[in-house]
């Protein structure tokens, strides 16, 4: 999978993942998990809007895109949590790193 090098791309990829997870969970009849995913997506939108600063937009490295292909909702949410943890570790904006760790904790 491709490397993600900037803040906006991290958030955009995370939003795609949450959208995929919500669809998977709905298809599996797991409404609670789908609702959790949508809540995290709203939080991601808030982060994109509020935690950004044009003076700290340093290029990122060490963050890879992930795929949820072939996973069931439970596996998918674990994979997403790992993505948040990894992205937080490589994020140069401290507010965003904290928020991503929070999202990882909220994955269930």
Closest separation between CB of residue 66 and other proteins, Å?
Answer: 16
Intra-chain end-to-end CA distance of the chain, in Å: 24
Please tell me the count of residues contacting other proteins according to CB under 8 A.
19
Decide: is 100 part of the binding site for other proteins (CB under 8 A).
Answer: no
Distance between CA atoms of 7 and 100, rounded to whole angstroms? 12
Q: Which residue has the tokens 């990882």?
A: 104
Closest separation between CB of residue 22 and other proteins, Å?
Answer: 20
Residues 30-49 close enough to bind other proteins by CB under 8 A: 48-49
């Amino acid at each position: 999978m491709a490397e993600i090098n900037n803040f906006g791309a991290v958030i955009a990829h995370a939003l795609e993942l949450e959208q995929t997870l919500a669809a998977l969970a709905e298809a599996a009849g797991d409404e609670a998990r789908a609702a959790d995913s949508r809540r995290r997506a709203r939080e991601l939108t808030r982060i994109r809007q509020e935690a950004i600063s044009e003076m700290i937009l340093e290029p990122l490295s060490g963050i890879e895109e992930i795929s949820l292909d072939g996973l069931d909702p439970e596996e998918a949410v674990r994979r997403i949590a790992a993505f948040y943890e990894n992205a937080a570790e490589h994020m140069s904006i401290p507010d965003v790193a904290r928020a991503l760790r929070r999202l990882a904790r909220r994955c269930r």
